[in-house]
Amino acid sequence: MSVWRQLARGLRVLANRRAADQDIADEVESYLEQATTALEASGLSPDEARRRARSELSNATAVREQVRSYGWENVIASALSDLRYAARRLRGNPGFTTISVLTLALGIGATTAIFSVIEGVLLKPLAYPESGQIVSLRHTAPGIHIDELNLAASLYFTYREENRVFQDVGMWRADSASVTGVGQPEEVPGLLVTNRFLAVLGVQPVLGRPFIASDEDTKSERAVILSDGYWKSHFGGDRSILGRRILLDGDAHAVIGVMPPSFQFMDRPVSLIVPLRLSRADIRLISFCCQGIARLKPGVTLVQAEADVTRMLAMAPAKFAVNPGFSSNVWATSRIAPRLLLLKDALVGDIGKTLWTLMATVGIVLLIACANVANLLLVRADGRRQELAVRAALGAGWGRIARELLLESLLLSVASGVLGLALAYAALRVLAASEVAHLPRIHEISIDPVVLAFTLGISLAAGLLFGLIPVFKYARPRLSNALGSGSRSVSQSKERHRARSLLVIVQVALAVVLLVGSGLMIRTFQALRNIDPGFSHAQELETLYISIPESQVPEPERVMRMEEEILRKIESIAGVSSVAMTSNLPMEGGQGDPVYAEDHPAHANTVPPIRTHKFVSPGYFSTIGARLIAGRDLTWTETYNQTPVALVSENMARELWHDPRAAIGKRIRPTLKDDWREVIGVVADLRDEGVDHKAPGIVYWPLLQKNFESSPTYVFRGVAFVIRTPRAGSLALLQDLQKAVGSVNSNLPLADVKTLGSVYDRSLARTSFTLVLLAIAGGMALLLGLIGIYGVISYSVSQRTREIGIRLALGAPLQNLTKMFVRYGLILSGVGVAFGLTGALGLTRLMKSVLYDVSPSDPLTYAGVSAGLVLAATLASYLPARRATKVDPVEALRAE
Amino acid sequence: MDKPNTDVIQGTLDMLILKTLSLEPMHGFGIARRIEQVSRGVFKVNPGSLLTALQRLERGGWLDAEWRRTQNSRRAKVYKLTRAGRKQLENETADWSRRTSAIARLLKAEG
């Protein structure tokens, strides 16, 4: 009970200090009266009695203070009064306060923004129950040089039937379907999934039912689950949707459920979820088609799971027959091995390195900001030296003085933290809106309690860091020294100067590290921009996907005809110079399968290297601006006649036949069962996996073929149109395109309309993102460093006015004085640059993974940064140094 | 110079106050005078310490305080022992006698 009493009384006193004081004063007064009355009663005169009573009480005020100082609330009250004092002092110097708060707020804001990205992308678990148990079932096949292999249907069944480590196994594939009969025909993104897929994630439809095993049966009715967004936008959130049928690619699907609004998967736009209808009996061993996910049993580690998967991989050939056309030992020679990843790591990828690099960068900016504020605080504390010394002499404990100085710093840093948080919030809004970074999980980035705690933490840490420097320098008990060496000493003592010079050196050194970092990023960016990606003027290439469902046009050749008809219509649009089609746009990959060459007979036990397969129409290479190194392009006649021809990339031609020209006339095929196809042309390499990755070997086949990959007639129903026109990216062009496609077939939606330029930019996005942020950080660091130098020199000039006056009076030439200060600035920046370069040599090694074609110790960058910084530092010290020449010796000597 | 020491033995002021108030509610000066009288002038209570102690005891919940008019119709803050205070007094008295008897034994030994 008494704790409550303590708390309640204390709060009452805090709330009304005056009443509490009055109460104490009244009691002391009443005590005095009682004592006086008692003394009078014992026979003293009233005056004498009062005098005696007072003297017994010794000092009424002291008693009041003694009584008053009891209680926990007094500790708070005195802290509050110190805080008020600190706030008043900060308000009293708005210039200093504004600059400090802005500087720090930038540092804290940048750090908070990057941290909230790290928190949202890397640290926060995925939004599924027990998400740490969900793994992505990836593989690798060193035997056929495949780093990343997805999941085969055969393996899906093997894992589901034989595993000892998974609670559930699921398989999925991203797909899209054209939805007709619901408003305009529209290409809608979706997922094809096995029936336990949602169970692996641990999510359920909020309306209706999840998939069950019978939904996968090819004989049962087709089912679909809608996303919340699609349900609301297309069906107005109508709860009677269950059981309704919608047309996907022409087939009726019954709506069986609606997902919760929070459902998301791998950052993909998902409007529809449709069961993968696999017939186990038809599945062959080599059936890599999809991605796998699984939920580990509680307590199972990734290593244990990999061991179990390795065991099961050996069982697959016994359960499933090898595909026709493949050698029987293909499984053994591929040496397929598991490469399981937590689903979160699969989603986030290797962005971690970039983000931590940026975190280090903004951390450095914050340190520089702290150094700047510490410098300003030192100047202020220096100005108060005598005041502090007098207070110490009058009996103020140095703990009390230290507390006051520290409180002022903490107040500054917390205010900056609040402003920094606002800045971070704004920065994140910009980041989310611009999508410059193409960050995974970008919609999960927010200022959550963890971020708030982080901001508070770094604000306080920053406040302590820069607050303790003046505390150690000025709150130490050595008053005589400070009182004695007052204002009349001629020049500054070295010791008073040392701390500030050191801070400037630190600032310059840190700025050098950041500038070297940005310099290296600029060089990387330049190197990447100079690489020929294998196509040209991507900004003028409009692209879109169209797919012709089997339910509308069953015959392969008619599909090809319709595609050409659309192509001709687009060709006649004003401003279009050429149009072509492809299965996969540049930088969007393609099937990865082996290619057999006639004159390179495969050894019985090996599979030839995997190549990227793309399917193209005539005119494709000239449209995207790819050079033909040898031979010629396809023709429409060859396409319709299904002539067995192909083109290959230059690197593949060189690898197989050493010379591109030698490739012409050679014969290749994708499997052992197919017809041989003659190489008619060699195309310049295409950086298909990103500008910063090696160009893969690519084979280009015609869009319509016979006896290809075991099917008698092979056609691409979903093709990308590539349109070269200066109008690319405009809304008017899009409308013309819709009209052109609609005039051929009004049921074909246009999907994924974009320019190839945006695809190219995306491949550079991470580099540009890192570059922009590093450049901003480097610029801020440079600015703060220069302000630091400027501040130290100009303060030094103002402190040494008397010395300058004497020198001038004794006849020192003006330039010598300027030189003296500039030299001082140069020494500071020189030492800073030296330390910075050493630091950069060590730290930029950590950046290696984000650099391209430039060494972390690139001499040009280091030299450029050093020269630039020294030049800027000279200017920053020259400007204040000039003021020394304006000193009037008479004034200077008379002052004070 | 040889003025006898009239300071209250350290740590016993609370007990003395509680004991005094256990007889009847009293104001600060009354407590001081009662201690002085009953101890026959051996202890003189310092008003500052007394008022602080009263504040502390009240905060601790041993005492209740209220402003009242005294016989000579002056206002005074009158303190009253609470039940917790009575309990505390018992504890402190028991503790005190245990300690004094120990000291007495020590002083008598080897007398």
Coil, helix or strand at residue A579? strand
pLDDT at B2: 57
Which residues on B lie below 8 Å from A66 (Cβ)?
A: 48-49, 51-52
Q: Cα–Cα distance between A334 and A69 in angstroms, integer?
A: 83
Q: CA separation (Å) from A854 to A355, A526, A637, A851? A: 20, 10, 48, 6
Non-local CB neighbours of A378 within 8 Å, separated by 6+ positions = A469, A470, A473, A499, A500, A503
Contact in structure between A151 and A171 (CB atoms under 8 Å): yes
Which residues on B lie below 8 Å from A35 (Cβ)?
A: 29
Q: Which of A250, A249, A230, A251 is nearest to A241 (CA)?
A: A230
Q: At what angle do helices A765-799 and A859-884 cross, to 10 degrees?
A: 30
Which residue in A has a C-alpha nearest to residue B28's C-alpha?
A31
Both tokens assigned to B43:
């202890």
DSSP lists the bridge partners of residue A207 as: A258
For A498-632, strand residue ranges (E) read 541-547, 578-582, 591-594, 596-597, 610-616, 628-631
Q: What are phi and psi of A746, to 5 degrees?
A: -80, -5
Q: CA separation (Å) from B29 to A49, A190, A720, A890, B77? A: 15, 88, 100, 70, 10
Q: Within an 8 Å CB–CB cutoff, is residue A30 touching chain B? A: yes
Question: Over the stretch A148-170, which tens digit does the pLDDT of each residue have?
Answer: 888 999 999 999 999 999 999 99
User: Residue A453, exposed/middle/buried by CB under 10 A (0-12, 13-18, 19+)?
Assistant: exposed
Partner residue facing B59 (CB), from A6, A28, A66: A6
Q: Number of residue pairs across A and B with CB atoms under 8 Å?
A: 71
pLDDT at A671: 81
Which residues on A lie below 8 Å from B49 (Cβ)?
A: 66
Does the distance separating the beta carbons of B59 and A5 come in below 8 Å? yes
Partner residue facing B47 (CB), from A9, A24, A57: A57
Question: How near does any CA of chain A get to the CA of B111, in Å?
Answer: 40
Q: Cα–Cα distance between A332 and A474 in angstroms, integer?
A: 76
Q: What does the domain layout of chain A look like in residue ranges?
A: 2-71, 131-348, 500-532+757-896, 549-747
Other beta carbons within 10 angstroms of residue B19's beta carbon come to: 18
Contact in structure between A112 and A455 (CB atoms under 8 Å): yes
Contact in structure between A178 and A301 (CB atoms under 8 Å): no
Show the 3-state SS of A692-717: CCCCCCEEEEECEEEEECCEEEEECC
Which residue in B has a C-alpha nearest to residue A28's C-alpha?
B51
Q: Within an 8 Å CB–CB cutoff, is residue B71 touching chain A? A: no
Q: Which of A180, A881, A878, A780 is nearest to A515 (CA)?
A: A780
Q: Cα–Cα distance between B108 and B111 in angstroms, integer?
A: 5
Does the distance separating the beta carbons of B61 and A2 come in below 8 Å? yes
Both tokens assigned to A884:
């020394």
Q: CA separation (Å) from B78 to A516, A865, B17, B30? A: 77, 79, 13, 9
Other beta carbons within 10 angstroms of residue B82's beta carbon come to: 17
Q: Within an 8 Å CB–CB cutoff, is residue B51 touching chain A? A: yes
Q: Within an 8 Å CB–CB cutoff, is residue B34 touching chain A? A: no
Question: How near does any CA of chain B get to the CA of A397, in Å?
Answer: 24
Does the distance separating the beta carbons of A31 and B47 come in below 8 Å? yes
pTM of the predicted model as reported, rounded to 2 decimal places: 0.76
Partner residue facing A63 (CB), from B33, B47, B77: B47
Non-local CB neighbours of A140 within 8 Å, separated by 6+ positions = A146, A147, A148, A149, A336, A337, A339
Does the distance separating the beta carbons of B77 and A30 come in below 8 Å? yes
Interface with chain B: mutation pick from A40, A61, A63, highest number of B CBs within 10 Å:
A63
Both tokens assigned to B9:
């033995």
Coil, helix or strand at residue B93? helix
Q: Cα–Cα distance between A839 and A509 in angstroms, integer?
A: 8
Which residues on B lie below 8 Å from A8 (Cβ)?
A: none
Which residue in A has a C-alpha nearest to residue B84's C-alpha?
A2
The H or E element that residue B63 is part of is strand B63-69
Q: Cα–Cα distance between B13 and A204 in angstroms, integer?
A: 71
Q: Within an 8 Å CB–CB cutoff, is residue A22 touching chain B? A: no
Interface with chain B: mutation pick from A31, A42, A65, highest number of B CBs within 10 Å:
A31
pLDDT at A486: 47
pLDDT at A623: 96
Q: Cα–Cα distance between A824 and A730 in angstroms, integer?
A: 58
Partner residue facing A67 (CB), from B29, B33, B51: B51
pLDDT at A837: 94
What mean pLDDT, rounded, does chain B reach? 85
Non-local CB neighbours of A180 within 8 Å, separated by 6+ positions = A247, A250, A747
Q: Which residues of chain A have pLDDT under 70?
A: 1-2, 58-60, 71, 395-397, 435-437, 475-496, 602-606, 895-896
Domains and CATH numbers, chain B: 13-108 (1.10.10.10)
Q: Within an 8 Å CB–CB cutoff, is residue B38 touching chain A? A: no
Which residues on B lie below 8 Å from A71 (Cβ)?
A: 55, 59
Which residues on B lie below 8 Å from A63 (Cβ)?
A: 47-48, 51
Partner residue facing A33 (CB), from B47, B51, B74: B74
Question: Over the stretch A509-560, which tens digit does the pLDDT of each residue have?
Answer: 999 999 999 999 999 999 998 999 999 999 999 999 998 888 888 899 999 9
Question: How near does any CA of chain A get to the CA of B54, in Å?
Answer: 9
B1 — pLDDT class (breaks 50, 70, 90): very low
Q: Within an 8 Å CB–CB cutoff, is residue A38 touching chain B? A: yes
pLDDT at A490: 45
Q: Within an 8 Å CB–CB cutoff, is residue B69 touching chain A? A: no
Which residues on A lie below 8 Å from B27 (Cβ)?
A: 30-31, 34
Instruction: Specify the DSSP class assigned to residue A265.
Output: B
pLDDT at A591: 82
